[in-house]
Amino acid sequence: MFDKLAQAARNNTQDMLDCTDRSAEETALAYSGSDRFLGVSQIKSADAEAYMADRTIVSYDFNRHGTQIEYTAADGTAHLWYPGNERILHGRWKVERQEKSTEACFAYGKNTHNPQTGHEGAGFECGPFKKAQYFDVDSVQGDAFGLAASQGSVKPLPDQAVKPYVPSCLPFVKPYRTNGKSPIEHLLEDLGKAS
């Protein structure tokens, strides 16, 4: 099993495998969303919900979506700034406990399409919470980018927007800082959202 996952990781996340301190097995476990990666048997749904409620999360997937910025409100609404989009996607989020993992689930409306997974429509798309957290490069409480209130057009988010502010090896020790600033602080300045 690990050989298959490791090969998939090599094919899809070469930047992550360039790290000399991580084995292919560790990378494959992390990429698959396995709770084993962090040495825990499972993540409680309540802990995942507490982490996500009222939080802005910046994630970065080297070879898929690129940079994504999302605000997950305590009321279960989700607001996603997806690379290239000229509007913020407004939807919903929830956490579910499955047999082997805690899942983070998102739904963005009937006319939406996830180009990476092929998921279409208003139904929830779920994936391992640990995998989602693995690609989170920074997070803060509150709606740092004002995504929930955004109703009109926005400047499209560059897919590599956060890349200069993170190491090429995931996971890394958080908070990660360059020039004394977190990735979110850099992005707020770069994207003209700093107060």
For the segment 149-190, what is each residue's pLDDT rounded down to a tens digit?
998 888 899 988 988 887 776 666 666 777 888 899 999 999
pLDDT band of residue 116 (cuts 50, 70, 90) is: low
Question: Whole-model pTM?
Answer: 0.75
pLDDT band of residue 99 (cuts 50, 70, 90) is: confident
Look at residue 8 and give its three-state secondary structure: helix
* 28 phi/psi in degrees, rounded to 5: -65, -40
Say whether the peptide bond before residue 183 is cis (omega within 30 degrees of 0): no
The enclosing H or E element of 91 equals strand 89-97
Is-contact 81 58, C-beta < 8 A? no
pLDDT band of residue 78 (cuts 50, 70, 90) is: very high
Domain boundaries, the chain: 1-32, 43-190
The enclosing H or E element of 55 equals strand 55-61
Tell whether the model's pLDDT for residue 96 goes beyond 70.
yes
Residue type, 94: K
Instruction: Give the chain's end-to-end CA distance (angstroms, integer).
Output: 49
C-alpha to C-alpha distance for 99 and 49, rounded to whole angstroms: 17
* Predicted pLDDT of residue 192: 85
Q: What is the mean pLDDT of the chain?
A: 76
* Predicted pLDDT of residue 77: 97
**Residue range 63-72: mean pLDDT, rounded:** 87
* Predicted pLDDT of residue 44: 84
Which distant-in-sequence residues (6+ apart) come within 8 Å of 47 by Cβ?
none
* Nearest residue to 88 (alpha-carbon basis) of 191, 10, 194: 191
* Predicted pLDDT of residue 13: 38
